[in-house]
Structure 1
Amino acid sequence: MSWLMPAETDPHERLWMAWPSGGYTLGETDESAHEAREAWAAVARAARRFEPVTMVVRPEDRAIAEAYLGRSVHLLEAELDDAWMRDIGPSFVLGAGKDGAHDGAPRLGAVDWTFNGWGAQDWASWERDAAIGRAVGEAAGAEVIPSALVNEGGGIQVDGRGTVLVTETVQLDPGRNPGATKASVEAELERTIGARHVVWLPRGLTRDSERFGTRGHVDLVAAIPRPGTLLVHVQYNPEHPDHQVSGQALEALRASRTVDGRPWDIVEVPAPAQLHDDEGWVDWSYINHVALNGGLVACSFNDPHDEKALRMLADAYRGRHVAAVDARAIFSRGGGIHCITQQQPRATGPRHSTSGRI
């Protein structure tokens, strides 16, 4: 069996999320905990308008999750360290025929990357989260594909045709994959998600590269709304260090080509106007959205650039309704809407249970 990770815009079976349950995500006060829970719930409620949503939740948190989510979101119980499903969950793939094309009944697979807390960061815990990729894959009825590559879903963006965007600071991170080379990473990405064209960016955004970041996830930097087109986060204000970072990303992407050997159609999406929060330079990004069946759940920031950016997303994802959710509470905890969601593509085979434990 060969595998291919479909485009995020391909039809979905459902969307997976994980309920915030402790540590820095909930914070130290009731007010902070409510802020986190309401932010995650707002994304789930927005996504549920377009497709089913399953929320993984610790057994002891089930009642409070139900209070925020109601009965329209399915709950599955499992032990969790954190709530970043894009990173702790599997990357779903579909089985492909010998010629690389899908037949009429593709088989669902789930790549279970090795997860070690974004490079064994001293503030992270991951013993429970490291088991979520397999658990969610099995609950979805997928064939689990183990991988020794330390990687997260936020560290890759695909076009569904074999292209994958990555950053050197993630897949080649010594805290993740000591001794790895571009060739060894590319070989594993080809085996697991069908990548035959890997585009390497030098790094991620500034805040995301600091102590409490992921060391440079690509899903804050660029997205592929359709084959041949890139949405790229651009910081136009030279006061922000991401002005230089986004310039480097643009330079690398303009020098690269699509899987067909053509230049990319690059759409520059401006960063929000706000430059700082209480912790320093922000990494707020409109790129960190999730495409759904007929819709898009996108980040807003109560920012002067929101309206323009959301119009650009609507144009890039024509035919999809754009639902904006205030993502400031999510970003203040280390990520965005794409980071807390994981799509499961539509495929034949057994359906997962929508209640109980995994």
Structure 2
Amino acid sequence: MTWRMPAETAPHERTWMAFPRAGLTLGDDAASAEEAYAAWTAVAHAVAEYEPVTMVVDPSERERARRTLGSHVDQVEAPLDEFWMRDFGPTFVVDDERPGVLGAVDWTFNGWGDPEWAEWRKSAEIARFVAERTGAELVSSLLVNEGGGIHVDGEGTVLLTETVQLDPRRNRYADKERVEAELARTIGATHAIWLPRGLTRDYDDFGTNGHVDIVASIPSPGTLLLHTQRDPEHPDYEVSRDLRALLAETTDAAGRSWEIVDLPAPATLRDEEGFVDWSYVNHLVVNDGVVACGFGEERADAEATEILEAAYPGRRVTMVDSRPIFARGGGIHCITQQQPAVETVR
């Protein structure tokens, strides 16, 4: 069998999410907790305007989830300790030789390198749980990886980062050749583009060590959306400049040079913790739309909306204030996972 991860623009059956629960990510006071519940709920309701949403809910949050999410979002129960569905959930794949067959890659998940603060062992079981709920064939992998650490065009190209898949806290004995062989087996990637690093904030204690889904995405074959920091006062100014130069020298699996579309960062440079990694690249493509991160900056949000609408012709862009999500380590793409519609993945 030949598994292939479809482009995120392919039709979806639904989107999967995980509901917040008590723990470090939620926050240690009532106001912080309510902020997290509200942010995850707002994203779920925005996605549900376009396609079905299924929310995995820890038993401890059963009543709150029912009250908050309402009838717009399907809910299933399973033990959770984290709620970044992109990273611990399955990566869905299809088999072009067996139409109608859905696969679910169960990466090995160790909480982004098993830092001292991470609670991840319950969520590491969710990929198998979701695979069973969807009737997908399980594709087991020993590669420590997260869904936010890869991005594909559905035609063989994969973007990834040296500081993620080659992180010794994740894959102590990995090299590029071994990682690429596993990605070819599991998601059908035949052409890997390795970024040397991710955004600056992502290397803090609570970061992922360089996830690509906050840096670059592929809205259509041969086109890249690239996070661009325009202010020289931010360390990501040099990061995004250097990444653009590197990507300009690469091609996709079909041998096409990239059309690189700059997606500028908001004007805000810092929050209470330091330099922010606010990024419009971290959006979710849904059926007939895009659910994008907003940051409360009228001019920057409007510019990003215009760029995204041009990159995804015919799709409506819905923005959700994602500052509470980024304050916890990620964005809208990080808390969602698309399930392709297997009959129409092309």
Aligned to 1:315: 310
Aligned to 1:230: 224
Q: Alpha-carbon deviation of 1:67? A: 1.3
Question: SS at 1:26's partner residue?
Answer: coil
Aligned to 2:195: 201
Aligned to 1:67: 67
> 2:57–2:76: 8 Å Cα contact kept in structure 1?
yes
Q: Choose which of 295, 308, 315 in structure 2 pairs with 1:301.
A: 295
Q: Could you tell me how far apart the structure 1 residues matched to 2:26 and 2:159 are? A: 31
Q: Choose which of 130, 138, 150 in structure 2 pairs with 1:136.
A: 130
> 2:21–2:60: 8 Å Cα contact kept in structure 1?
no
Q: Alpha-carbon deviation of 1:96? A: 2.1
Q: Which amino acid aligns with 1:71?
A: S
Q: Deviations over 1:54-89 (max 9, x none)?
A: 000011211101111111100000000111000010
Question: SS at 2:107's partner residue?
Answer: strand
Structure 2 counterparts to residues 4-23 of structure 1, below 5 A: 4-23=4-23
2:331 pairs with 1:336: yes
Q: Which amino acid aligns with 1:198?
A: A
Residue-pair matches, total: 342
> 2:59–2:78: 8 Å Cα contact kept in structure 1?
yes
Aligned to 2:182: 188
Aligned to 1:40: 40
Q: Alpha-carbon deviation of 1:203? A: 0.6
Aligned to 1:352: none
Q: Could you tell me how far apart the structure 2 residues matched to 1:182 and 1:250 are? A: 21
Listed as ranges, the gaps of 5+ residues in structure 1 are 98-102, 349-358
Question: SS at 2:72's partner residue?
Answer: coil
Structure 2 counterparts to residues 279-294 of structure 1, below 5 A: 279-294=273-288
Q: Could you tell me how far apart the structure 2 residues matched to 1:9 and 1:22 are? A: 33
Q: Alpha-carbon deviation of 1:156? A: 0.3
Question: SS at 2:267's partner residue?
Answer: coil
Q: What TM-score do the two structures reach when normalised by structure 1?
A: 0.94
Q: What TM-score do the two structures reach when normalised by structure 2?
A: 0.97
Q: Choose which of 237, 240, 248 in structure 2 pairs with 1:243.
A: 237
Q: Alpha-carbon deviation of 1:25? A: 2.1
Q: Alpha-carbon deviation of 1:22? A: 1.6
Question: SS at 2:116's partner residue?
Answer: coil
2:149 pairs with 1:155: yes
> 2:36–2:324: 8 Å Cα contact kept in structure 1?
yes
Q: Could you tell me how far apart the structure 1 residues matched to 2:190 and 2:43 are? A: 33
Aligned to 2:321: 326
Q: Could you tell me how far apart the structure 1 residues matched to 2:273 and 2:257 are? A: 38
Q: Could you tell me how far apart the structure 2 residues matched to 1:347 and 1:160 are? A: 13
> 2:223–2:261: 8 Å Cα contact kept in structure 1?
yes
Q: Could you tell me how far apart the structure 2 residues matched to 1:272 and 1:121 are? A: 29
Q: Alpha-carbon deviation of 1:52? A: 0.3
> 1:202–1:248: 8 Å Cα contact kept in structure 2?
no
Q: Choose which of 94, 98, 118 in structure 1 pairs with 2:112.
A: 118
Aligned to 1:179: 173
Q: Could you tell me how far apart the structure 2 residues matched to 1:252 and 1:171 are? A: 19
Q: Alpha-carbon deviation of 1:270? A: 0.5
Q: Could you tell me how far apart the structure 2 residues matched to 1:189 and 1:308 are? A: 35
Q: Which amino acid aligns with 1:329?
A: P
**Cα RMSD for the two superposed structures:** 0.9
Q: Which amino acid aligns with 1:10?
A: A
Aligned to 1:353: none
> 2:91–2:106: 8 Å Cα contact kept in structure 1?
yes
2:307 pairs with 1:345: no
Q: Could you tell me how far apart the structure 1 residues matched to 2:265 and 2:158 are? A: 23
Q: Deviations over 1:292-342 (max 9, x none)?
A: 010110001012311101110011011011100000000000000000000
Q: Alpha-carbon deviation of 1:106? A: 3.2
Q: Alpha-carbon deviation of 1:261? A: 1.0
Q: Alpha-carbon deviation of 1:150? A: 0.2
Aligned to 1:56: 56
Runs of 4+ in 1 over 3 A off after TM superposition: none
2:89 pairs with 1:89: yes
> 1:150–1:177: 8 Å Cα contact kept in structure 2?
yes
> 1:22–1:82: 8 Å Cα contact kept in structure 2?
no
